[in-house]
Structure formats: C-alpha cells, structure tokens
Amino acid sequence: MDVIVENLTKSFGMQKAISAVSFKARQGEVLGFLGPNGAGKTTTMKIIAGFLFPDCGEVYFGKDSIRKNPARIKQSTGYLSEHNPLYEEMNVVDFLTFIAKLHRIPRYKIDSRVVDILQLCGLEHEKHKNIKELSKGYRQRTGLAQALIHDPEVLILDEPTTGLDPNQIAEIRELIKRIGREKTVILSSHILAEIEATCDRVLIINKGKIVANGTSAELRSKSNAGKTLRVRIGSAGEEDIRQALGALPGIQKLNHPAGSPFFELQSDRETAIEQLIFDTCARNGWYIQELTPVETRLEDIFRQVTQN
Amino acid sequence: MGTIKILIGKELGNYFNSWSIYIGYVVFFCVCGFYAWLSANNLFYIGQATMKPVFAVINWLQFLMISALTMRSFAEEKRNGTLELMLTKPVKTWELIDGKFFSCLLISLIALLLTFPYYVTLAFLGNLDHGTVLLGYFGLLCMAAGYISIGIFASALSRTPVTAFFVHFGIAICFQLLFGMLAEQFNQGFMNSFFNYLSMEEHFDSLSRGILDSRDILYFCSICAIFLSLSRFCIYKNRY
C-alpha cells in the first residue's frame, strides 16, 4: 500500500510545526526520515499515524484518506511512537493479547500470533514480567511487538532502535529491511548510519519543510560539494606534491593531515581531476601509489541542507 | 460494541490488579455497615423497616469514592502517552470513553451489591417495601453513572489525576448539594424549579421514595450524555 502525503501543514498555536510537506512512500520501500531536533519529523509521523489532525493537507493510504476512513487505515498500520507509551501495569503477554484483540485478530489465531511476535522481538524470557519492570531495551522491543502484531501493511517507526544493544539494533534493522521488501515502512532516526543502512530512500526535513528527497546515491550526486579524492604519491617530497596538486585547475580544497602519507583533495565535478593528477605525476616522474574516490557522506549532505 | 467489551475487560483487569480497589471496597462495606447497624441512629433505633438512611450514606460515600475511581482515567493516559497508543489503534474516541464509563459503572455496581446483605437482613427483620428498595438501588446506580461521567470529563480536562480529583469534586458537589441549596433560597418560581431540576439529590429522592418517573431517567441520561460528549470534545481538542 502506497502512502501519499499531500501538502501537510500543522501549527501549534502561533508556531508552525510543518508546512506543505508532500512526499510518497511506495510499497516495498523503506523511507527514512531525517532532520534536526524540532524539524517536524515526529509531528509528521503522528499525523500519518492518525493521532494528530492536520490543519490542512491530506494523507492517503492507497485510496483511503486519513480524514474519511481513519478506522480502516489504523487497522492496517503499525505505529511505534517516539516515547513508546505502554500500559505499565500489564504484563507483556496480556498487553500484546489486548492489542491483538483491538486489531480484530481472530480469537483462535491470537495465541500463536503472540508467541510468534515474542520470538521475533526476542521477548520470550521476559513475557510474564510487568512492563514497568522491563529495561529500556525490552520496553522498546515490546513497543515494536505491538506495532507488528497484526502484520500491518504500513509500518511507521519513530526512532525504533533507541535503547537497544548493538546486536539487537542489527537484528531490528534486518527485520525492518525484510518487512520493507513487501510492505511500506516509514522510519525516522537521528542516527545517519542507520538511515543509510536500512532505507531505500531518504527524506530530509528542516524547519517543517522537506529540503531533500531521494536515494542516498541521488542525494550525493545532487549535493553541490565537489568530488573528493584520496591520493598517495611516491618518490617525491611532500612540499613538491602539495605545490603541484595545489596548482591544478578546479581544485577547491587540499588537505594533508600531518604524519599521513595521503593527500585529500576536493575538486568540482566537471574537472577530470584524475587525468590531471596522472599527467602531473607523469611529467614529474612520480608514481601514484593510491588514488581513491571518497564518497560524500550522508552526514555532509545532512549538514549542508539543514544548516543553510 | 466488541471494542468496548475489550476495553472494559482491560480496564477491569487493571483495576482489580491493584490493592486500592479492594481497600476501597472494604472501606465502603465497613462504613455502610457501621452506619446501618452500629451508629447512634442505626436501623434498629429508627424502628422502621426502611433502607433510606443507608442509602443516604451510600450516596455520599460513592460520591467521594467515584472521584478517586475516575480521576486517573484520562489524566494518566494523557500523561503517560498511552492515549496516543490507543488513538492510533482502530479505536474510536467514544469507544474509549464508553469503555472507561462502563468499567467504572460495573465497579460501582459491585460496590452496591456488597450492601445487598443489609437489605436481605432487613427484609427478614421487618416488613420491607421491596419495590422502593430496588428503585432506591436503581437511583444510586443512576447517580453513580452521573458522577462517573462528570469524573471522566474532569479527567479528560486535567493533566494530572490530583487536578482531576478536585475538578470532579467541584462540579459534582454542585449537583450533590449546591443546586439543592440554591433552590431553597428561591422559595418558588422559575429559579426554584430550575435549580431543583438540576439537583441530583432531588431526582434521587423521588426514585428512593419508590416513584419511577421518566423525567428522572431522562435527567440522568442527559447528565451522562452531556458530560461524556464534553469529554470527547476535550480529547478531540488536544489532537487539533
């Protein structure tokens, strides 16, 4: 089921939280939501999940609109909110059974479904504990379990890996990717590596507006930072190399960390800088030991679009 | 209806999982018992087979206890964020409110049933008008329903259970006492009948005297409908 968000606008009093946010999350795709604190990620997620009402704009799940068919949408959506609210006084099994009943899972299927989901989220050993006795990681797993129990078509996860240990983070990422192959997943995170590892497409939101939208590769190519190369040249003095490289046309930045045999140079994308480096070396009788392109990291793109 | 049943099951489970509800029941049972059988003007002393004095005590006790029962309902859900969890599930706001309302009403009904042995004992001791007593119990249940709806509204309005307790107390005392007192201030005329109509005590009195009037039933139904709709409005308002 595709999720289409059109012109979503929401204000809290005088403060505009998001303004004219539009995007599309396709089925079989994990969409990553990135943004600095207070950018409007959580507000957008809460509106998509049907908790907040937008001032204007629409969200469509397939053909259903969030304003006209909220019940049907909620039936096929799993939502894990940022603070992961749970009924503290219930135990894990009772809580998951209660949520399963709310989702109208047939009575005879509930027990087996709860057992499956406990196994999937690694909660078997904690299942009879009250939720208030669980550690943060296990609480997070319980939150994830309640979002997944009815096998939803659309999964909305607001920072799903907070509080988990590294093994569990890897497992959950793997799980999200697996679900994302068939279902629609919208995921927000502060951890850029997580977005890069799990998401097919990235959406960067800043001050309530979408500032970048595309796959990580697309964002890199669109980014106006030039390409970066790492060069190691043998049989020459460092100062000579620095002067020769610095004189090349199209060079934006040349770095030489002290003690390192590598030079890091940034040039604009139009210049065939590799060829120029080769020619320079050939002219001077130097030989190239290493020439590696350094990819622009998502972090740099993030900084670039959110700081302007 | 199915969703409401699931919600009632969960609410009752939560209430009966904690000690406080049992303590509440014991206190309720003991205070009613003390007043009915042991106090200065007990049922033997008045020399009449009537439950009216006991009903008066039950009335005040449940008035106080319903504040404590309902104060947590929405205030705590809002504070813990579980309201967000519920409203992103296929649950309508009114189903959530009704679930809480009926679970509280069931708890009040159980409390009233605890005083049933007093009625049975009295029926053996004297010549009791059964119709009046049963209508009295019905009246108490109607009052409980009214106060529960006010309590849920107070809880939906407030951020913390303590605030909800005082808001509920403030609104409910008007219906319990103040409107009746105001009606007395105006000897007759429109204001007198207006405040008399608003006073819950007045409607309960006619039921406990054994008069089943559709106007009283309508009054209690409207109180519930008005305050439950206001609760729904308060919850909706938070989401805009």
Residues of A in contact with B84 (CB under 8 A): 46, 51, 81, 85
Q: Is the pLDDT of residue A92 over 90?
A: yes
Look-up of token digits 């799903």: A160
CA angle A33, A99, A125 (to 5 degrees): 90
B88·A83 Cβ contact <8 A: no
Of the candidates B85, B91, B239, which has its C-beta nearest A53's C-beta? B239
Residues of A in contact with B21 (CB under 8 A): none
Residues of A in contact with B2 (CB under 8 A): 104
Task: Write down the ipTM of this complex.
Answer: 0.90
pLDDT at A135: 87
User: Alpha carbon of B140 to those of B3, B83, B155, B175, B221: distances in Å?
Assistant: 28, 31, 22, 14, 14
Are A204 and A192 a contacting pair, CB within 8 Å? no
Does A50 reach chain B within 8 Å, measured CB to CB?
A: yes
Q: Minimal Cα distance from B16: which residue of A?
A: A89
Residues of B in contact with A146 (CB under 8 A): 85
Q: Which CATH class is domain A3-221?
A: alpha beta
Min mean pLDDT across A117-126, A223-232, B69-78, B91-100 is at A223-232
| CATH 3.30.70.100 residue window(s) in chain A | 224-307
CA nearest to A9, candidates A50, A48, A57: A57
pLDDT single digits (tens) A136-173: 888 988 998 999 999 899 999 998 887 778 888 888 88
What is the sign of the dihedral through the CA atoms of B44, B47, B50 and B51? negative
Q: Spell out the residues 6+ positions from residue A123 whose beta carbon is closer than 8 angstroms to its own.
A: A92, A117, A138, A141, A142, A145
B239·A94 Cβ contact <8 A: no
pLDDT at B129: 85
pLDDT at A267: 79
CA nearest to A273, candidates A218, A226, A220, A225: A226
CATH architecture of A224-307: 2-Layer Sandwich (3.30)
As a whole number of angstroms, the distance between CA A164 and CA A162 comes to 6
Which of 53-82 (A) contact B at CB < 8 A?
A: 53, 71, 74-75, 77, 79, 81
Are B68 and B107 a contacting pair, CB within 8 Å? no
Residues of B in contact with A91 (CB under 8 A): none
pLDDT at B226: 95
Residues of A in contact with B240 (CB under 8 A): 52-53
B14·A90 Cβ contact <8 A: yes
As a whole number of angstroms, the distance between CA A136 and CA A142 comes to 10
Q: Is the pLDDT of residue A308 over 70?
A: no
pLDDT at A193: 78
Minimal CA separation from B68 to chain A, in Å: 18
Burial class (CB in 10 A: 0-12, 13-18, 19+), B130: exposed
Q: Spell out the residues 6+ positions from residue A181 whose beta carbon is closer than 8 angstroms to its own.
A: A28
pLDDT single digits (tens) A249-268: 877 778 777 777 788 888 77
Residues of B in contact with A104 (CB under 8 A): 2, 90
Q: Minimal Cα distance from A49: which residue of B?
A: B88
Does A46 reach chain B within 8 Å, measured CB to CB?
A: yes
| CATH 3.40.50.300 residue window(s) in chain A | 3-221
DSSP state of B38: I
As a whole number of angstroms, the distance between CA A133 and CA A113 comes to 23
Minimal CA separation from A72 to chain B, in Å: 7
As a whole number of angstroms, the distance between CA B113 and CA B110 comes to 5
B239·A101 Cβ contact <8 A: no
As a whole number of angstroms, the distance between CA A199 and CA A185 comes to 9
Are A227 and A59 a contacting pair, CB within 8 Å? no
Look-up of token digits 């042995």: B117
Residues of A in contact with B238 (CB under 8 A): none
As a whole number of angstroms, the distance between CA A99 and CA A152 comes to 13
Q: Is the pLDDT of residue A115 over 90?
A: yes
B92·A53 Cβ contact <8 A: no
pLDDT at A295: 67
Chain B interface residues (partner A, CB cutoff 8 A): 2-3, 6, 10, 13-14, 17-18, 80-82, 84-85, 87-92, 239-240
**What share of chain A in percent tops pLDDT 70?**
97
Does A225 reach chain B within 8 Å, measured CB to CB?
A: no
pLDDT single digits (tens) B122-141: 888 888 888 889 999 999 99
Q: Minimal Cα distance from A83: which residue of B?
A: B81
Of the candidates B17, B18, B85, which has its C-beta nearest A85's C-beta? B85
Crossing angle of helices B214-239 and B200-208, in 10° steps, is 140
Does A131 reach chain B within 8 Å, measured CB to CB?
A: no
A71·B92 Cβ contact <8 A: yes
Minimal CA separation from B8 to chain A, in Å: 11
Can you give the pLDDT of all 240 residues of chain B as single tens digits?
Answer: 689 999 999 999 999 988 999 999 999 999 988 888 887 777 777 777 778 888 888 999 999 899 999 998 899 999 999 999 999 999 999 999 999 999 999 999 999 999 988 889 888 888 888 888 999 999 999 999 999 999 999 999 998 999 999 999 999 999 888 888 888 888 778 888 888 888 888 888 888 888 888 889 999 999 999 999 999 999 988 888
Q: What is the mean pLDDT of chain A?
A: 85
Interface test with B, best of A9, A11, A46, A51 (most B CBs within 10 A): A51
pLDDT single digits (tens) A41-75: 889 999 999 999 999 999 999 888 888 888 889 99
Does A86 reach chain B within 8 Å, measured CB to CB?
A: yes
Q: Spell out the residues 6+ positions from residue B50 whose beta carbon is closer than 8 angstroms to its own.
A: B128, B129, B132
Q: Is the pLDDT of residue A223 over 70?
A: no
Q: Minimal Cα distance from B1: which residue of A?
A: A102
pLDDT at B155: 94
Min mean pLDDT across A116-120, A189-193, B75-79, B148-152 is at A189-193
pLDDT at A220: 72
Q: Minimal Cα distance from B17: which residue of A?
A: A89
pLDDT at A161: 83
Q: HSE (CB half, 13 Å, CA atoms) of B88?
A: 28
A71·B240 Cβ contact <8 A: no
